[in-house]
Chain A
């Protein structure tokens, strides 16, 4: 099992520098501890799925963000060791299952939650693709019902003014005659024969959309392109991690990769900006899938499309890949690029990482 990269510990001399400069709210009492300061209201954030790769990085980024007060990180299981470095008055870890309505109600009623004056919820808890059918059912419940339960509680609470849901571009219907840049109003994938994980993504996205007009809460859906980064659990991350990669013969679609750092940065922007709605977020690197494979030094082979599924199954059985072809069958044939004009304009987001263009192939363009 691979060891996760953990957030680097803050300096021992009195906590993080950024917090020190603005005054560490955890060292103060009352007003400062709840993140309220005269004139500026700090964001107090609940993060679900905080133990995931993005969750832990987001927690770290927010911990060092001077405009964020208290962070409650929720996930299932005991508190991981890498959160021990954070000041417990500023970062509170909660072991909870968002599927259980009682547990969720209790969380919203806890003293910690009330005192923290949580006003922003970032919902990251979402299971990745699984193979075993028994797990599929419980994961579907977490992915879809869990999102619904949490959003309902946030609306009921009256104190949460922003709900951010991390979605993905897999919700879009992929066709060769799509516009080159898909905007936020592009058709969603309601096909019945798609993978259950894609259905869960679409369902959860739709649940958030259906409650978009709820009073007193701004719901933000962030649809990211293919997230890539160390220890990332995204589909294409798993694809490029494989020793052998296969693509559909006769197709070589353009893909966009977004780095984990940019994902965290985009969520941070969404926390601070006064926005609501759906936003497509893409990274800086766009190229055919074969180009990324070459940069990654993967061995890529083209196979007739009907063989891709069986080959992928065999590779998974042999432990050679974590990638699920069924999720991305169309993505290996047709390009999916996101129209990011809205996010650029409203969230002032521009991708910062350009990890791949450093090794740009081809003659000096």
Chain B
């Protein structure tokens, strides 16, 4: 982005999210000298994107979150949520939530599937906002720099789950656990409630997926009924639960990576914790199916009430 572009980006951020704009001034990047880090992250682009996403966060998905204090304020850390919803909006909402709610704002560097790198505009947008393409080496670099990395261990298969399989996680990939032990990065199990219903995905239109070089092209009832408007996700209410950080590297030395059985068990432990958070979140959710009621859509009712008690109860349950 040139100087003029940066000026515009700052204006957009200041206008849309004035409070956050001030907080975001604290964000630091590994600047190579021109305002970009080696992955292409540019602070102005990231802040402008966060400010725009904040509006979606606040008014469309009306996100509420619990347990953000469990996320370390500095050092390498992995956020490992469930993944769903055809488009990776759950990752965006978790990223915004952390940037907005943490005492000291941090940019979540989400690990994105390879296909995103081939897509024009998407490729550049992701890089400028701090997202990285999922090569293991890239993941390692971020942990070495002490960054907060968002990993979705279900991979793109998670976002392609059909509606009937919502909130049923598919087995986690194991790579993140190996890196957690090698680089002594705590893992924060995270549950995202609401994203699984935003696209009631019925069929994968494979020819279109191949045409656009995508892993899947979801067909929803809304795309059939509303045409292009059906691309918009349903305004489901999101609830995000951050579990207690798991410092497994304290008990398991880096050599554990040579023991696939133990690694698989540890990954199972993380998956169980995410599943427990999901179960608890679903139990507490106000709506029965889509997580929203008509009251939520009325003006003045958009600010979520964040109960203090549930998160503690959840933490106790998970801790035990």
Interface of A with B (CB < 8 Å)?
Answer: 175-181, 248-254, 284-288, 290-291, 294, 305, 333-335, 337, 354, 357, 360-363, 365
- B120 CB-CB contact with A under 8 Å: yes
With A177-B114, A180-B132, A249-B120 as contacts: A365 and B137 at CB distance below 8 Å: no
Do B3 and A362 have beta carbons less than 8 Å apart? Answer: yes
Shortest C-beta distance, B256 to chain A (Å), equals 24
Do B141 and A251 have beta carbons less than 8 Å apart? Answer: no
Residues of B within 8 A of A334 (CB): 117
With A180-B138, A294-B2 as contacts: A286 and B38 at CB distance below 8 Å: yes
- B166 CB-CB contact with A under 8 Å: no
Residues of A within 8 A of B31 (CB): 365
- B70 CB-CB contact with A under 8 Å: no
Interface class of chain A by DSSP: loop
How far is A294 from B119 in the complex, measured between Cα atoms in Å? 24
Shortest C-beta distance, B125 to chain A (Å), equals 9
Do B123 and A250 have beta carbons less than 8 Å apart? Answer: yes
How far is A155 from B107 in the complex, measured between Cα atoms in Å? 54
Interface class of chain B by DSSP: mixed
How far is A96 from B127 in the complex, measured between Cα atoms in Å? 49
Residues of A within 8 A of B183 (CB): none
How far is A173 from B32 in the complex, measured between Cα atoms in Å? 24
Q: List 26 A-B contacts (CB under 8 A).
A: A175-B117, A176-B114, A177-B134, A177-B135, A180-B138, A181-B38, A250-B121, A250-B122, A251-B120, A254-B40, A286-B34, A286-B36, A287-B36, A288-B34, A288-B36, A288-B40, A291-B2, A291-B36, A294-B2, A335-B40, A360-B34, A361-B3, A362-B6, A362-B34, A363-B3, A365-B31
Closest to B10 in A: A363
Residue tally, chain B, CB below 8 Å to A: 31
With A176-B133, A335-B40 as contacts: A362 and B117 at CB distance below 8 Å: no
Residue-wise, chain B 94-130 has the 8 Å CB interface mask toward A (1 for contact) of 0000000000000000000010111111111001000
- B146 CB-CB contact with A under 8 Å: no
- B39 CB-CB contact with A under 8 Å: yes
Closest to B134 in A: A177
Shortest C-beta distance, B250 to chain A (Å), equals 29
How far is A288 from B31 in the complex, measured between Cα atoms in Å? 13
Do B121 and A287 have beta carbons less than 8 Å apart? Answer: no
Do B3 and A180 have beta carbons less than 8 Å apart? Answer: no
Shortest C-beta distance, B4 to chain A (Å), equals 10
Do A179 and B124 have beta carbons less than 8 Å apart? Answer: no
Shortest C-beta distance, B138 to chain A (Å), equals 5
Q: Supply 6 further A-B pairs (C-beta < 8 A) apart from A175-B117, A179-B138, A362-B3.
A: A176-B133, A181-B38, A181-B137, A251-B124, A254-B40, A291-B36
Residues of A within 8 A of B117 (CB): 175-177, 334
How far is A286 from B35 in the complex, measured between Cα atoms in Å? 10
